[in-house]
Amino acid sequence: MVNAIIQVSRLDYLATRKRLTMKISSAGICAALMLVTSACSSSSVDVAVSAPTPAVTAEASPSAAVSANTSAKATVKPAATHRIDAKVVRVVDGDTMKVSFTEAGKLKEETIRLLLVDTPESVAPEKPVQPFALDASNYAKTMLTGKDVQLELDVSERDKYARLLCYLYIGDQMFNELLLENGYARVAYVYPPNVKYVDQFREIQKTAQQKALNIWSVENYAQEDGFHEGVVKGSPTQSMNSSPTAAPKTTASSQPSATTTPKPSAAAHSGASVTYNSCKEANAAGAYNIRRGEPGYSAKLDGDGDGVACEKR
């Protein structure tokens, strides 16, 4: 009896131990699973945290972008237009003047040639005065003589005659444009790189052509290759314009006066072939303002080379 009880107790003990062992094993497995899960989570977090941070490029940097942009602008920004203050000493003809200005503390005199425009010739050696030449020259004299002006240079500064090439300003207006606007000049001598204003000059010329002003009032007189006086009837020294010239946009102090053409000499009307040894001799004969091509004119009597000898002052 006692043995039976002991045997039963032993069996119960073994069964209980087995159940405990199974529970412990299950707990161990769960614990292990929890550890594995935890480890996986930890690994996942570590990976996320340790992932490399992308480098910030120069494009993403505002300061770098601003710096680059500023540098780029600096390379393409055109230089400010520089003008030289000057005074017109003498007008040679419509597109050529003598001016004075101060350079390095010294007063300097230069002959200037207006860029991209051409007026008819009034003082070309051994050539007759072309139609409208005196109109252009007198207009320039009235507008510019003794006036304070500004000179703007382009890329190449001088022509083959060593004349200073420029755009000339009187007040806030460019005189090159005024010549074109009033039909005293044509667009010409377009030689790169001195072509800064050529497009706007051509537009101004087109308007003068449509209005038939001065050189454009005679068909085929002003052409691409120059002026053709053969198509103009009458004296080449006379104004052939049949329509009024548009008034220049300028101040009252620089308006052209009503009388700008010098009085012709007596010799010019006589038709005689005469010569004078001096202006005194010419004046004694009643000859003043003798133009190139007229009887009595000679280069030795034309001291300033403007095409008019023995000028009456």
- Among all residues, which ones are annotated catalytic? 113, 121, 163
Q: In the chain, which ranges are E strands?
A: 83-93, 96-103, 106-114, 117-118, 148-152, 164-170, 173-174, 186-187, 222-223, 226-227, 290-291, 308-309
50-62 pLDDT, tens digit each = 444 444 343 334 3
In the structure, what pLDDT confidence band is assigned to residue 274 with cuts at 50, 70 and 90? confident
CATH 2.40.50.90 domain range(s) in the chain: 84-241
Q: Token pair for residue 92?
A: 């040679």
| Domain with residues 84-241, CATH architecture | Beta Barrel (2.40)
Alpha-carbon span 79 to 155, nearest angstrom = 12
66-118 pLDDT, tens digit each = 334 433 333 334 445 789 999 999 999 999 999 999 999 999 999 999 999 99
Q: Give the position of tokens 């699973």.
A: 33
Kindly state the percentage of the chain with pLDDT values over 70.
Answer: 61
Q: Classify burial at 270, counting beta carbons within 10 Å of its beta carbon; exposed 0-12, middle 13-18, buried 19 or more.
A: middle
Most confident segment among 70-79, 119-128, 150-159, 296-305: 150-159
Q: According to the model, what pLDDT value does residue 7 have?
A: 53
